Amino acid sequence: MTLTPFQEELRSTSRWDFSDLRALYVNCTLKPSPELSHTEGLMRVSMAIMERNGVDADYIRSARAFHFGTISLISERARSAALQAVKIAREAGLLISFDPNLRLNLWPDADAARTAMQSGWSLAHVIKVSEEELEFLSQTADLAEAARKLWHDDLRVLIITRGKAGCRYVTVALNGEVTGFDVAVTDTTGAGDGFVAGLLKGLLAQPDAHLDEDRLRVLCRYANAVGALTTTRRGAIPALPTAEQVEAFLSKQP
């Protein structure tokens, strides 16, 4: 696919460096149409940008982590591709991260959404879920009971996000809460994605942090900070803070 002059300018002037990134891009089209959908168009542009920056999707096995959500599980074609990608990643020993990211309006019904969430949930080592999503999936408002009900042997850490209140972490041996940060909220879009990015950054640097409560709490605090800072600007991707911005923010906190 050929990039437009504007897209090429965005690629060449971006502050992000993808030269050493190896990734697999999975997306889906939500409506049947003989014409190129907005979703597919964005996917093609994204793939073209990645290819121009030296990214080859065939390198999935050389990645360190694979993160996915339920949006890519809505249509059959995308679901098959996503689950196959997860299978390859698991076989290669990658850290598998899952975010249910429930959007009921995109699903035929609640049961279809719950089934898809369960299929992704069972494959993950790390799961970030909101209180509302956990209640929806477990069908109980008791968070502790929900965590016990949905725990599986391959799961290393379950993080339950609680908005500005922070998050709760659950492992085989640990259970606790890390408070969030009080910031001036402009737009909450992307806050969950930012949280996951911050969490995975820490877990990739410290793969066994889920076994040490002090280190796990530090990782959760960092993830809370990334999520909080993301809400202070408009947009999803543009609002994501840099590592330097997160460290500067944390240095000013008590």
**In the block, which residue shows the tokens 């999503």?**
133
Tell me, what amino acid is at 178? V
> 69: which strand partners?
99
Rounded to whole angstroms, the Cα distance separating 21 from 24 reads 10
User: Structure tokens of 65?
Assistant: 């982590």
Residue 50 has pLDDT above 60, yes or no: no
Digit-coded pLDDT (tens) for 61-85: 889 999 999 988 888 777 877 887 8
∠ CA 58-89-1, nearest 5°, is: 30
Q: Please give the CATH superfamily to which domain 156-254 belongs.
A: Ribokinase (3.40.1190.20)
Residue 38 has pLDDT above 70, yes or no: no
Report the percent of the chain where pLDDT is more than 90: 61
Catalytic residue annotation: 193
Domain positions in the chain: 156-254
Q: What is the pTM of this model?
A: 0.77
- Find the largest Cα–Cα distance for the chain: 56
Q: What is the pLDDT of residue 26?
A: 52
Cβ proximity of 25 and 72 under 8 Å? no
Q: What is the pLDDT of residue 208?
A: 96
Q: What is the pLDDT of residue 88?
A: 83
Digit-coded pLDDT (tens) for 137-170: 999 999 899 999 999 999 999 999 999 999 999 9
